[in-house]
Amino acid sequence: MEAERVQANRKRSKRLSFLKKQNVMLAKEIDRNLKKGISVEDAGGLVPKLVKNLKTCANYTLYGETGKHIRLITSITCNHKLCFICNWSRQKKIRRKYFKWFENNKTLCKISDSILNIKYCTHAQLNDYLNKGFKLHTDKIEYDLMHLTLTVPHSVNGWRGNKVYFSEIMQAFNEMRHFDEWKNFVYGGEYGVETTKNDSGYHTHIHSLVFVKKGTQNRNLLHYEVLRLWNKLTVDKEAERTAFDDNQRIAIKKGNKLITNDFIDKLNPQGATLIGLTCLYTTTNGVKSHSKEWGSDAMLKGVMETISYHFKPQLFNTSDRTFDVETIIDMLPKAHGKVLYRKFGVLHGEKSLNVKDNTLIEDFEETTEDVDEETGEVFDTQYFITNPLNIYSKGTNMEIALSNRADTRIRVLRARSGREAVQELNGLVDKKNINI
């Protein structure tokens, strides 16, 4: 068990050092493009702030060194939406939170108020409702997990005259969740808004993890209702399509045997006609497999694949490992200050699943003491702070090693334990200037 934890820590350290290099590469690329005179719509100096965040994020990273090895403990991060390190960190934290949450929430609670209005909630929220006078029913409510993807009809001019439409697509999704047809199938969930770019401009869409009422053909029935509602809510009167051709009708029918020609005739050609709704699955070597067993690694990996879309800004790192800097500069003021991740229904108010968490101690795990196998002597641990660029992985076991050139860049701490070291790190760092 300890060997597995050590190896996982070494992998985490290697990943951190790699992502720090990615941050520095992106910062340099932005600087180069700015020097070329790229036009910047930069309200509030957002581009220089991004460059500074990329360069300084994780510069204060805490490690512990014993007679046996170095281990990564935690970092001071910048919490920027476009930072490689912070997106990775958010993925790790939310993964940990969801794993723990699903252990205790295989079912939901069914409750009712004084006039017998039925409501559903999580176990963590139950006491609050009972204190408000709600009555708990004996039913244990099971649910299916599905991944919903929603798009809108868009062109180079965007959707409804907006090239970037974060708020508008979120508003449409919010409206859909008020319909009885939605409430009859969905208990709640979470969602994030993602933007990609192609030849027809920005493509903004929603990825959502939904908790679906169990039942025969619940996927097809929910897909049928969501498609009908979403089509009405996303009509763009400026859209070029005014009728469906045969190929489009075939595409609409694909994947749901409940959809008929009569159903399609009632759809508006200027609204969305394709949505994605899949049961959870994992992908191994390009092969998809459904995750049916509750609490299994496959199920939880399916959950992580769904919500990972919220923490992978694909728009900003292309497949050939270059950066679309012009797009980054263009998008910064448009996305600034916007909350692009939300929980709804039974997950609304579920504080244990909140994404934003700057608690350093959450990343800290006490490990067993390092002991010399021959003498039984306990090694002392020296705690130090350095930039992950000064750290590399050595050998097939990926042992964490410190670059020789890093000696003058290390701050050695007086802490006697990992927990004390984290507290000392907190006290040392001026978060307005975190350069080492």
In the chain, what are the domain boundaries?
A: 2-79+361-428, 99-106+142-353
Q: Give every CB contact of residue 297 below 8 A, 6+ residues apart in sequence.
A: none
Residue 136: pLDDT band by 50, 70, 90 thresholds? very high
Q: Is 90 left (phi over 0), alpha (psi -120 to 50) or beta?
A: alpha
Question: What CA–CA distance (Å, rounded) separates 344 from 349?
Answer: 8
Total number of residues shown for the chain? 436
Q: What is the pTM of this model?
A: 0.84
Confidence band for 265, pLDDT divided at 50, 70 and 90 = very high
7 CB neighbour count, 10 Å cutoff: 12
Confidence of residue 324 (pLDDT cuts 50, 70, 90): confident
- pLDDT-based confidence at residue 20 (cuts at 50, 70, 90): very high
Q: 414 CB contacts (<8 Å, ≥6 apart)? A: 424
- Return d(Cα 298, Cα 284) in angstroms, integer: 11
Residue 108: CB atoms within 10 A of its CB come to: 22
Structure tokens at 424: 């000392």
Q: What would the DSSP string read from start to end of 233-285?
A: HT--TT-S--S--HHHHHHHHTT-TT--HHHHHTS-TTS---EEEEE-EEEET
If pLDDT is split at 50, 70 and 90, which confidence band does 424 have? confident
**3-class SS of residue 307:** helix
- In the three-class reduction of DSSP (H, G, I as helix; E, B as strand; rest coil), residue 209 is classed as strand
Burial class (CB in 10 A: 0-12, 13-18, 19+), 200: exposed
